[in-house]
């Protein structure tokens, strides 16, 4: 796939990976529609993209608000007449320590990381079905198969994304010619992980390159970087008794909060 003149909707466009995807696709002359909550940053980014000689529209969109998502998709379709690709990267990473186990953290994370994508898919489907083509790529995470101490809310939301996309993939392709792509990044050096020590992180630029290349190649899953892919696949093979022997502090990683018991 060549991105020139393709209409691409991007959520989480102000984030580490989202912003880089926007810049790289702008240079490839895609027609962009970019969304996130920080309007000022969206405007700056849109102005930069227009200076590359392509189109870029933007609107504030909080993925916890169904109406915002509806409006984002409608705005894109009404402006450009079609939507070729949606790249959904909006997400949050919030620790949920066992000491202060709090269901509201899990609900908030599910609302943003999982339901935010679900509502986008619901609104994109009628447009892509009518067009007879489309690609929806959603950010999950590389470790989406096994739990990690302290990160259950995030992991559950991303496992849900991966599971949903895999459930939709074959049928959406066979019936409607819609491609679903699960983006599974390892550690990427973005604001999301700035408070945590994560060795081996790749740059957001490199991550955006992997993602764009994967979409162009029509991959079903985009996993990177290779060394982390291998390590996670090996870890996935551990039986539960061996998996539980991984030190909890190692699972949480450096920088994880140390709260007092509730
Ligand atoms: N960084 C990593 O190591 C890593 C690894 C695996 C997977 N991922 C996933 O990759 C995606 C991009 O991550 P990143 O590292 O680029 O994160 P980031 O730099 O923290 O950016 C997150 C983006 O999500 C947006 N966002 C957050 N809450 C939102 C809401 N309620 N409504 C709309 N937009 C919202 C933010 O924009 P506003 O604040 O302007 O709304 C921002 O654009 C995420 O889904 C993340 O879970 C990241």
**For 7-252, CATH number?**
3.40.50.720
DSSP string, 65-91: -HHHHHHHHHHHHHHHS---EEEE---
Nearest-CA residue for atom 46 of ligand 1: 91
User: 54 CB less than 6 Å from ligand 1?
Assistant: no
Band the pLDDT of 221: cuts 50, 70, 90. very high
User: 17 CB less than 6 Å from ligand 1?
Assistant: yes
User: 14 CB less than 6 Å from ligand 1?
Assistant: yes
Query: One of 154, 176, 196, 243 is an active-site residue; which one?
Result: 154
User: 192 CB less than 6 Å from ligand 1?
Assistant: yes
pLDDT at 262 over 80: no
Query: What is the distance in A from the centroid of ligand 1 to the CA of 89?
Result: 6
User: 200 CB less than 6 Å from ligand 1?
Assistant: no
Task: Give the burial class of 203: count Cβ atoms within 10 A of its Cβ; 0-12 exposed, 13-18 middle, 19 or more buried.
Answer: middle
User: Under a CB-based contact definition with an 8 Å cutoff, are residues 109 and 159 in contact?
Assistant: no
User: 155 CB less than 6 Å from ligand 1?
Assistant: no
The first and second tokens of residue 260, run together, are 């007092």
Average pLDDT over residues 58-66: 98
Catalytic (active site) residue 52: no
Query: What is the distance in A from the centroid of ligand 1 to the CA of 197?
Result: 18
pLDDT at 1 over 90: no
pLDDT of residue 236: 97
Band the pLDDT of 211: cuts 50, 70, 90. very high
What global pTM score does this model have? 0.98
Per-residue b or e along 154-179, where b marks 16 or more CB atoms closer than 10 Å to that residue's CB = bbbbbbbbbebbeeebeebeeebebb
Query: What is the distance in A from the centroid of ligand 1 to the CA of 12?
Result: 6
User: Under a CB-based contact definition with an 8 Å cutoff, are residues 102 and 146 in contact?
Assistant: no
pLDDT of residue 198: 84
Probe ligand 1: pick from 10, 35, 36, 207, max atoms within 8 Å of CB?
A: 36
Rounding to the nearest 10 degrees, give the CA dihedral for residues 219, 161, 185, 2: 30
Probe ligand 1: pick from 22, 91, 182, max atoms within 8 Å of CB?
A: 91
How many other CB atoms are there within 10 angstroms of residue 35's CB atom? 29
CA pair distance 93, 259, nearest whole angstrom: 17
Nearest-CA residue for atom 35 of ligand 1: 90
pLDDT of residue 22: 98
The tens digit of pLDDT for each residue in 176-198 reads: 999 999 999 999 999 999 999 88
CA angle 165, 221, 196 (to 5 degrees): 95
Q: Identify the H or E element spanning 144.
A: none
């Amino acid at each position: 796939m060549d991105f020139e003149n393709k209409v691409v909707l991007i959520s989480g466009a102000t984030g580490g990976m989202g912003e880089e995807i926007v810049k790289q696709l702008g240079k490839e002359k895609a027609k962009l529609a970019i969304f996130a909550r920080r309007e000022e940053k969206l405007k700056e980014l849109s102005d930069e993209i227009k200076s590359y000689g392509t189109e870029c529209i933007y609107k504030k969109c909080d993925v916890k608000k169904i109406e915002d998502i509806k409006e984002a998709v409608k705005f894109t379709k009404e402006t450009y007449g079609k939507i070729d690709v949606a790249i959904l990267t909006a997400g949050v990473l919030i620790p949920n320590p066992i000491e202060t186990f709090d269901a509201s953290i899990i609900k908030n994370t599910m609302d943003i990381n999982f339901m935010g994508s679900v509502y986008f898919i619901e609104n994109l489907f009628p447009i892509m079905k009518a067009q007879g083509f489309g690609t929806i790529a959603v950010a999950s995470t590389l470790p989406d198969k096994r739990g990690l101490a302290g990160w259950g809310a995030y992991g559950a939301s991303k496992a849900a994304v991966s599971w949903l996309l895999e459930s939709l993939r074959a049928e959406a392709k066979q019936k409607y010619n819609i491609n679903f792509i699960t983006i599974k990044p390892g550690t990427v050096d973005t604001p999301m992980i700035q408070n945590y020590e994560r060795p081996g992180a790749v740059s957001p630029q490199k991550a955006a390159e992997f993602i764009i290349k994967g979409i162009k190649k029509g991959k079903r899953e985009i996993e990177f970087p290779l060394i982390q892919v291998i390590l996670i696949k090996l870890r996935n093979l551990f039986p539960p008794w061996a998996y539980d022997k991984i030190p909890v502090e190692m699972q949480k990683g450096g920088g994880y909060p140390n709260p007092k018991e509730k």
